[in-house]
Amino acid sequence: MSQETITPAPAKKRLLSLDVLRGITIAGMILVNNPGNWSHIYAPLRHAAWNGCTPTDLVFPFFVFCMGMAMYISHRKSNFELNWATARKITVRGLLIILIGWALSWYGKTLGQLIDGQDFITAIWTYPSATLRYLGVFPRLGLISICGGLLLLIFKPKRILWVSATLMLIYCILQTVTNSFELSSENMVAAVDIKLFGREHIYNGLKNAANEKVLFDPEGLLSTVPCIAHVLIGAWIGHLIMNVKDNWGKVTRLLLAGAVMMLVGFLLNYAYPINKSMWSASYVLVTCGLASSLLAILTWVLDIRLPERNEKEATTKCEIATKKVANNWYKFFECFGVNPLFIFCLSSWFVITLSKIKFEYQGEHYNNPWEFWYQECMQPLFGDNGGSLACALSLVLLMWAIGLVLYRKKIYIKL
C-alpha cells in the first residue's frame, strides 16, 4: 500500500448502520475462518456441506451486500458518471484486492518452504507458482468490485436491479442446461476453473457424500457471475434508502425489500437449492433479504432508538452504567467496519505467519503457535469445541484492539 491509501477520516458523516453491519460481518469472517482446531467446531460455525445454509454461510454474502451499498454511496458523489478516470480507479482498486489475495497465498507458501529447508528459488518461485490458488475470497472481492462498479456506472442505479436479475437468470439457465446441481469435478463451475487454471490451482477441500475430496472452488470464476448480481443488489438497496430522509421510511423499505427477496429466494430454492459453493440465485436472494432485514434492525436501533435513549436523563449509577453500555455496544463492531478489508487482510497475514512456525515446548512438538494456544491454553479451560471457539474469539479481540487504535485516531486504510 502506498502512503496515499492512509487518510484521515473524511468530514462527511458516515452511515453508522452500514459500518456496524460491515463490522459484524468482518468479525464473523475472522471468527469462522480461524478455529483453534478444525476437528472441533460447533455446528453453527461450520459451512453447509453442500446444499443448505448455516449462520457461517451468511457472513461472506453479508459483506458482499455491504460492499454494494458502499459502492453506491461512493459513486453517488460523482453522480454515477462513467469516464476514464472513474473506470481506471475502479479497475485499479479491484486489481489491488486481487493482488493482495495472491500475495497472501504466495507469502504463506514461500514462508512454509523456507522453514522446511527448501532452496531459495524453489521457495520463492518454483513451488508457489506451480500451486498458487488463483481464486479465493480476495480475488472474488476484486472481480466483483471491478464488474459491479462498472455495471453500476453503465446502467445507473434505477436499472441496476434488472441487470442483477438478468445475471441470475443467465446463471440459472447455465445451471439447468449443464445439470450442475451436484458436487463433482464435472459441475460447470469446477469444469470451467479446471479448464482455465489447471487442476493444481483449484481448491481441493470440499468433500462429496462418499467423503472424497473434489476439485471444486467455492469461489469459482463462473459462480462469480451471481456474486456480481449480489453486489448490485446491495447497490440497489443503497439507492432505495439513501434518498429517504425519514429513518422510519428507511426501515420500512428495508424490511419490505428483505421480505420480498427472502420469499422469492425460498420459493426458488425448490428448483435451485440454496448453496454457497455454487452461489446459487436462491442463495443470493435469501442472504440479501436477511442482510436487508438486519440493516433495518440496525437502522432502527442506532438511528431511532439510540437518539431517544440519549434524550432520557439517567439519575442513578445503575441507570448511568446501563445507558453507557446501551449507547456504546455498537462501537465494538464499528471498529471493524471502518477498516474492514485492512483488518481482514491483517488477520489473514497473522494466521498464515503463525501457521508456518514449528517449535518444541517441554518435549512436545507443535506445528505452530496456534496449535499450542489451543492445546495448552484454551482446550484445558473450555474443552474441545469451547477451546476452539475461544481461540477464534481471541483473534477477533486482537484484531479489534488494532482496529480500536485506528478508530480512535480516525484513520481509514483504504484497499
pLDDT at 316: 62
pLDDT, tens digit (0-9, with 9 covering 90-100), for 361-392: 877 788 889 889 999 999 999 999 999 999 99
Among 405, 349, 397, 334, smallest CA distance to 6 is for 405
Q: Answer yes or no: is pLDDT of 44 > 90.
A: yes
Region 165-188 average pLDDT:
96
Report residue 354 as a C-alpha cell: 503463525
> Is the pLDDT confidence value at 156 over 80?
yes
Q: Quick: pLDDT tens for 59-96.
A: 999 999 999 999 999 999 889 999 999 999 999 999 99
Residue 1: the pLDDT is 37
Question: Which of 5-19, 227-241, 308-322: highest mean pLDDT?
Answer: 227-241
Mean pLDDT for the stretch of residues 122-146:
95
DSSP 188-229: HHHHHHHHHH-GGGS---EE-TTS-EE---TT-STTHHHHHH
The pLDDT assigned to 151 comes to 97
pLDDT at position 146 is 97
Average model confidence (pLDDT) across the chain: 90
d(CA 107, CA 115): 12
Cα distances (angstroms) measured from residue 313 to each of 243, 329, 414: 32, 19, 39
- Please spell the DSSP secondary structure of 148-185, one letter per residue: HHHHHHHHHHHHHHHHHHHHHHHHHHHHHHTT--SSST
pLDDT value for 208: 85
Distance CA 27, CA 396 (A): 6
Q: Is the pLDDT of residue 24 over 80?
A: yes
Element (H, E) at 46: none
Cell (9 digits) for 56: 457461517
Q: Whose CA is closest to 340, among 414, 410, 231? A: 414
Tell me the CB-side half-sphere exposure of residue 53, using CA atoms within 13 A.
22
Whether 3 has a pLDDT exceeding 50, the answer reads no
State which H helix or E strand residue 412 sits in: strand 411-413
Q: Are the C-beta atoms of residues 276 and 217 closer than 8 Å to each other?
A: no
* Residue 415 pLDDT: 75
- DSSP conformational letter for 113: H
pLDDT of 10 reads 41
Percent of the chain with pLDDT over 90: 78
pLDDT in tens, 186-224: 999 999 999 999 999 999 889 888 888 999 999 999 999
At 288 the three-state DSSP class reads helix
Q: How many CA atoms lie within 13 A of 131 on its CB side?
A: 16
Q: What pLDDT score does 102 carry?
A: 96
Q: What does the pLDDT look like over 311-356, one tens digit per residue?
A: 566 556 555 555 565 567 889 999 999 999 999 999 999 999 998 8
Residue 11 has pLDDT above 60, yes or no: no
pLDDT tier, 58 (very low <50, low <70, confident <90, very high otherwise): very high
- pLDDT over threshold 70, residue 283: yes
